[in-house]
Amino acid sequence: MGVGWRWLGTIWVYWMILGLHLLAILFFTKGFLLTRTELPYYSNCSDVTQSPCFFTSHIDDANLNQTHHHCWTKPAVTRVIIIVLDALRFDFVAPSTFFPESKPWMDKLQVLQELASQNPSSARIFKAIADPPTTSLQRLKGLTTGGLPTFIDVGNSFGAPAIIEDNLIHQLVQNGKRVTMMGDDTWMQLFPHHFEKSHPFPSFNVKDLHTVDNGCIDHLLPSLYQEDWDVLIAHFLGVDHAGHIYGVESVQMIDKLEQYNVVLQKVIEVLKNESEPGGLHENTLLFVMGDHGQTLNGDHGGGTPEEVETSIFAMSFKNPPASIPSTSSTSSCELKSDEKNLCINSVQQLDFAVTVSALLGIPFPFGSIGHVNLDLYALGAGGRSFNGDVEFCEYQSELGEWMWHYVNALCINSWQVKRYMDIYSASSVIGFSGEDLFHVADLHAKAVEKWSYTKNFFVNKNESCNTVLPALKSQIDAYSNFLSSVKELARSKWTEFNLKTMAVGFGIMLLSIFIHMLALTEVKKKNGISFSPSQDSGISFGLFCACFMVAIRAFSFFSNSYILEEGKVACFLLATSAVAKLRNSVLKKKLILQVFVFLLVIIIGRFTIEVGLSKQTPDFDFLNIFPSWMPRIAFGLPVLSFVTDVVPVICLMLLAIFLYKTLSSSISEGLWKYVISATILSYMLIAVHWASESNLCGLAWVFKGIGRNFIPQMVYALGFAQLLLLICWQSSKEGSLYSSKKLITKAVALLSACSSTIIMLLGKQGPVVSIAAIFGGYCIVKLDHNANNEGTRNVNIDPLSVTQWSLLAVCLFFCTGHWCAFDGLRYGAAFIGFDDFILIRQAILLTIETFGISLILPIFGLPFLVGCNHSTSLTGEGKNAIFASLSLVYLLYGLIMATTVTVTMICVTIHRRHLMVWGLFAPKFVFDVVGLLLTDILICLASLYYFGKNCRQQDHTTENLSVS
């Protein structure tokens, strides 16, 4: 077989490894990220006859002996309005007196605070606790199904599939309730063909703060005067988008909250005016609620208190009885400035679906494990919560009817959850353990037994208050104990891990590593390449250090603390490798300056990683406009504003000068010169675009006619055209690889073609990070002391240099403010240059922004480790050394990535029951496997670009030499 076909064989190894990795990840993911089994069952009105709660003898025969005429529970309200303010933090609604320090965004929704304070008998503020992950899709599913979210649904946050399991919206429609929806079009995707009337608006353009909100406002107020709906849903998005783009502390966020306050004032005014006896809203219940919270930087998706804590404001427009102070143990009371005591209770979002179902008198969703909330039910039913103390006997007449209906609803609630648990365990592959099922069954049996005794009190009207109220309290406690136990069981053991499927995936992953190592050995053996400068067969110092670095980083993933500090770990290991290089430089008395420059770059990177990690903390005071670590423009600091505007442009000019120097050298000929010239033009366009957005230059008028998206689209188009030219040129003779000079030329052209789009998406941090990457890569190349012997087959590759290249890429990922969590994705970058949402286009842009500086540029730049350490002109066997070295470098880089992902698989398998599995370990796993697949794809594409055609030409030359 010819030499060229040997390298074609290496290319096929890359593709085979990609296939194995894809197969391994599919198997492992199927076992690890299983969704909760969604049962195809739905609750019906007739089901309740099977429960122990259904009977017709009530304390007030005239009014209550009609149970068989309504469904499950007696309706307490006739109309419900649900206003969802997306990403509504708890401190947006709760008074500032509840918090140690007042913030600018607090006390903006004053209408809600005043109503809760002045009318506690009809209006209440609740702290709502969501279950992570806290993306909008999971929260809407949790709110409507009453079930726990599943991690795998994060991938459906764009383009959500319809909910197929039983849910609140389905039950409303099935039981004749007319539902009107307006706002976030995610509702239309989740519940197609469910709404009597709908006014959806596109939700994924996070730069658009007003379209969805204005659409809601235009339709909400007129709808309040209409009779053609029973449930009205209005989903506002402005606060969520303002948080993503500008942060919680921004002026835009405060403006949005003040706008909401005005809208809510108008809504409540209309409802009050129409709430008189016989009025349209005589028996209406209003909810103003968030689906999740957000961090100070506008992120959400994780499980931090800021993300899971949101608010529910509930207000009944009935004429309630005299106020009875709430004595619930979950209340948290603070003294407001007007000296009125405001109590805020905590509720679980899990309880929302069944509570609304109970109030409307419709069946509870089949798969709900929620608990009919006492305080919300009391508010809707016109009653008051109580603690069962005998001093409440004077209110027995008020407690009577609504309290009986609540206890009966709680009985049905418990029966429905027990039914679901039994059917789920019988239908699911794994279900719950026998011991767990026995425990909850025992709790339910005790509650049912107590119910058989308690309900007799309502048949016998002569029972005293001192007997009835303690019995009620005891009965509620029994059901609540059962429902709480089911929630705890579901939260701890809901995810079904298929260990056999996970083992198959892990085994395929090990097989890929074996093939990786086998290919490495073959390339080394057949081409005389060594990892040791002395050409011995032992383990060199560089190989030992490389293995040590990779092992230390991989095994650090077993600790959740080290995963949180992954960027710092990579930075520390990179600095350690630089110290190892310093030892060699001191011994040889050369390249000492490059070592210190390398260490300086690492120190700067370490600082930026620290600031990037600070984004995740509540007291983070950087970042308002820029997407990473660049300081926020502060009022009264014009110098800082000047620096943050000017420095990125200066760095962009330095990159352009570097490419211009490349043009003027002999390295660029033919098409390469035009590709690099187009990149310089793109840099100029980016600089003009940033200048037009800056207040310093006042150039916004320049693009007033063509729009702010023109330049980004031009940059994307130029980058795409450059890549097409390079692909076409690759198939020509001029695009062939004959020497290390050609290799470097092709690398510079490819990197320049990709860099403009990546810098455009990264924003003003892009040029600064690119300069740091160039300095870091230059130092690694110069310090690669194990250079080959020119013109011979005795070639040396230093594995430590490849490891440094990989660690530098990891550091760049964290330096740009990214981290391995879904709330670390910067969705705003996907809309740079575009206002409308197209799934594939926005997904590609988001991927480039996330992995461009840490995967695309480092992988396409790996040939510098080879080209800079070979002679500039090689013939015969020397040419083959370039192919062999490049193949080996890519195999080493891919092996490093595959090893770390394999250890990540072991890590998530061991920690699958860890408290942080869905908040930390699972996102880390997802980011790692996506990074591995992208690495494999990029290596395959790079191998085709750098020596795909050259392999055939080399093979043809070798055959001709053999014939002659």
Residue 806 · residue 896 · CB < 8 Å? yes
Using a pLDDT cut of 90, give the percent of the chain over it. Answer: 35
d(CA 907, CA 918): 13
d(CA 513, CA 898): 7
d(CA 963, CA 168): 79
Q: Across residues 255-271, what is the average pLDDT?
A: 95
Instruction: Say if residue 118 is in the same domain as residue 208.
Output: yes
Instruction: Say if residue 347 is in the same domain as residue 408.
Output: no
Identify the DSSP state of 163: P
d(CA 930, CA 854): 13
Residue 7's Cα: distance from chain center in Å? Answer: 40
Instruction: Say if residue 400 is in the same domain as residue 380.
Output: no
- Alpha helices for 665-730 (secondary structure H): 671-693, 710-730
Instruction: Say if residue 374 is in the same domain as residue 390.
Output: no
pLDDT digits (tens, 9 = 90+) for 881-922: 777 888 889 999 999 999 999 999 999 888 876 656 766 788
Domain finish residue from 333, 352, 385: 385
Q: Across residues 377-395, what is the average pLDDT?
A: 60
Q: Which residue has the tokens 């404001």?
A: 313
Residue 581's pLDDT band (boundaries 50, 70, 90)?
confident
pLDDT at 620: 41
- Average the pLDDT over each of 435-444, 598-607, 791-800 and give the range with the smallest value: 791-800
Identify the DSSP state of 46: G
Between residues 132 and 222, which one has the greater pLDDT?
A: 222
C-alpha pair distances (Å), 526 with each of 100, 439, 519, 788: 70, 65, 11, 16
Instruction: Say if residue 299 is in the same domain as residue 353.
Output: yes
- Specify which residues 288 forms β-bridges with: 83, 313
Residue 870 CB partners (closer than 8 Å, separation 6+): 740, 787, 788, 790, 878, 881, 882, 885
Residue 899 · residue 937 · CB < 8 Å? no
Residue 369 · residue 148 · CB < 8 Å? yes
Instruction: Say if residue 399 is in the same domain as residue 355.
Output: no
pLDDT digits (tens, 9 = 90+) for 628-659: 444 444 444 455 666 777 888 888 999 988 88
Q: Which residue has the tokens 């080996």?
A: 888
Residue 775 CB partners (closer than 8 Å, separation 6+): 597, 598, 601
- Average the pLDDT over each of 335-339, 547-551, 612-616 and give the range with the smallest value: 335-339
d(CA 337, CA 344): 16
Assess if residue 392 is contained within a domain: yes
The two tokens of residue 555 are 């095994």
User: Long-range contacts made by residues 150-156, C-beta under 8 angstroms, separation at least 24?
Assistant: 150/35, 150/36, 150/495, 151/33, 151/495, 151/918, 151/922, 152/33, 152/34, 152/35, 153/35, 154/301, 154/822, 154/926
d(CA 793, CA 807): 29
d(CA 598, CA 73): 71
Q: Across residues 796-818, what is the average pLDDT?
A: 89
Q: How many helices (H) and strands (E) does the chain have?
A: 33, 11
Domain finish residue from 472, 496, 520: 496
Of residues 757, 949, 939, the one with CA closest to residue 862: 939
- Specify which residues 858 forms β-bridges with: none
Query: Which residue range(s) make up the domain with 81?
Result: 71-385
Q: Across residues 590-596, what is the average pLDDT?
A: 81
Domain finish residue from 385, 406, 430: 385
Assess if residue 363 is contained within a domain: yes
Q: CA angle at residue 56 from 51 to 58, to 5 degrees?
A: 115
Residue 50 · residue 514 · CB < 8 Å? no
CATH code, 249: 3.40.720.10
**pLDDT beyond 60 at 61:** no
Tally the residues of the chain: 964
Instruction: Say if residue 475 is in the same domain as residue 351.
Output: no
Residue 853 · residue 629 · CB < 8 Å? no
- Specify which residues 200 forms β-bridges with: 183
pLDDT digits (tens, 9 = 90+) for 422-460: 888 887 655 677 788 888 888 888 888 877 776 666 555
Residue 158 CB partners (closer than 8 Å, separation 6+): 204, 839, 842, 843
C-alpha pair distances (Å), 394 with each of 133, 388, 389: 46, 12, 11
**pLDDT beyond 60 at 727:** yes
**What is the rounded end-to-end Cα distance, in angstroms, of the chain?**
17
Sign (positive or negative) of CA dihedral 169, 172, 176, 179: negative
Instruction: Say if residue 172 is in the same domain as residue 239.
Output: yes
Assess if residue 323 is contained within a domain: yes
Domain count, the chain: 2
Assess if residue 324 is contained within a domain: yes
Between residues 651 and 150, which one has the greater pLDDT?
A: 651
Assess if residue 721 is contained within a domain: no
Assess if residue 769 is contained within a domain: no
Q: Across residues 253-261, what is the average pLDDT?
A: 95
C-alpha pair distances (Å), 345 with each of 116, 326, 342, 374: 12, 10, 10, 11
C-alpha pair distances (Å), 148 with each of 153, 427, 505, 822: 11, 18, 27, 18
SS3 283: coil
Cis amide prior to 133 (ω within 30 degrees): yes
Residue 475 · residue 451 · CB < 8 Å? yes
Instruction: Say if residue 370 is in the same domain as residue 424.
Output: no
d(CA 872, CA 744): 10
Lay out the sheet containing 179-184: strands in order across.
197-201, 179-184, 231-236, 79-85, 284-289, 309-316, 123-129, 341-348, 332-335
pLDDT at 618: 40
Instruction: Say if residue 438 is in the same domain as residue 364.
Output: no
Element (H, E) at 530: strand 529-530
pLDDT digits (tens, 9 = 90+) for 9-25: 567 889 999 999 999 99
Instruction: Say if residue 393 is in the same domain as residue 381.
Output: no
Instruction: Say if residue 437 is in the same domain as residue 380.
Output: no
Assess if residue 436 is contained within a domain: yes
pLDDT digits (tens, 9 = 90+) for 161-204: 778 889 999 999 999 999 999 999 889 988 988 999 999 998 87
Highest mean pLDDT among 376-380, 431-435, 538-542: 376-380
Assess if residue 241 is contained within a domain: yes
